[in-house]
Structure 1
Amino acid sequence: MVVLAVIIGLIFWVTSDDSGKNTANSTDLSGTPSYALPSAYSDPSASASGVPGVSGGSSGGGGGNAAAPGESPAPGEPGIPGGTPAGETPQPVPASGLCPDQNISVVLYTDKPAYVEGEQPIFTIAVTNAGLSECTRDVGKAMQSVTVLNLAGDRRIWASGDCAPVEGVNNQLLKPGQQVKDTIDWSGTTSTPGCETVRQPVAPGAYQAVARIGEKASAPITFNVNRPAAQ
Structure 2
Amino acid sequence: MPPQGGAPWRTTVLGVLHPVGPLPAAVYWRRRLLVLALLLAVLGGGGWLVVAALTGSDGGTATSAAAATTDAADPSDEPPALEQVVPSLASVPTPTPAPGPAAEPEPAPASPTPGGPCGDDAIGLEVRAPGSAPVGGKPTFELVVTNTSSVPCVRVLDAGLQEVLLLDAAGNRVWGSNDCFPETSSDTRTLAPGESVVFPLTWGGLTSEPSCAAERTTPAPGQYVLRGRLDTKTSADTAITLG
Shared fold, TM over 0.5: yes
2:92 & 2:190 partners in 1: Cα distance? 59
Residue of structure 1 equivalent to 2:119: 100
Structure 2 CA distance for partners of 1:167 and 1:20, relative to 1, 3 Å: closer
2:107 & 2:130 partners in 1: Cα distance? 26
Opposite residue 170 of structure 1, the aligned amino acid is D
Structure 2 CA distance for partners of 1:58 and 1:175, relative to 1, 3 Å: farther
Deviation at 1:148, TM superposition (A): 1.4
Alignment check: 8 A CA contact 1:139 1:171 kept: yes
Higher helix fraction: Structure 1 or Structure 2?
2
Deviation at 1:72, TM superposition (A): 9.4
Between the two proteins, the alignment pairs up a number of residues equal to 189
Structure 2 CA distance for partners of 1:90 and 1:119, relative to 1, 3 Å: farther
Q: Secondary structure at the match of 1:177?
A: coil
Unaligned ranges ≥5, structure 2: 1-48, 74-78
What are the superposed Cα offsets for residues 170-207 of structure 1, whole Å, 9 maximum, x if unpaired?
A: 33321122222222121221012333333211112222
Opposite residue 127 of structure 1, the aligned amino acid is V
Residue of structure 1 equivalent to 2:211: 194
> Which structure would you say has the larger Rg?
2
Residue of structure 1 equivalent to 2:57: 22
1:205 & 1:197 partners in 2: Cα distance? 22
Residue of structure 2 equivalent to 1:7: none
1:180 & 1:67 partners in 2: Cα distance? 67
1:103 & 1:131 partners in 2: Cα distance? 5
What are the superposed Cα offsets for residues 20-61 of structure 1, whole Å, 9 maximum, x if unpaired?
A: 333433442343142559xxxxxxxxxxx97287598978xx
Deviation at 1:80, TM superposition (A): 10
2:212 & 2:190 partners in 1: Cα distance? 34
Opposite residue 101 of structure 1, the aligned amino acid is D
Q: How high is the TM-score relative to the length of structure 2?
A: 0.58
Opposite residue 152 of structure 2, the aligned amino acid is E
Deviation at 1:225, TM superposition (A): 2.0
Residue of structure 1 equivalent to 2:3: none
Q: How high is the TM-score relative to the length of structure 1?
A: 0.61
2:145 & 2:128 partners in 1: Cα distance? 12
2:65 & 2:193 partners in 1: Cα distance? 104
RMSD value over aligned CA atoms?
A: 4.3
Q: Secondary structure at the match of 1:165?
A: coil
Alignment check: 8 A CA contact 2:138 2:203 kept: yes
Question: Does residue 205 of structure 2 align to residue 170 of structure 1?
Answer: no
Opposite residue 133 of structure 1, the aligned amino acid is V
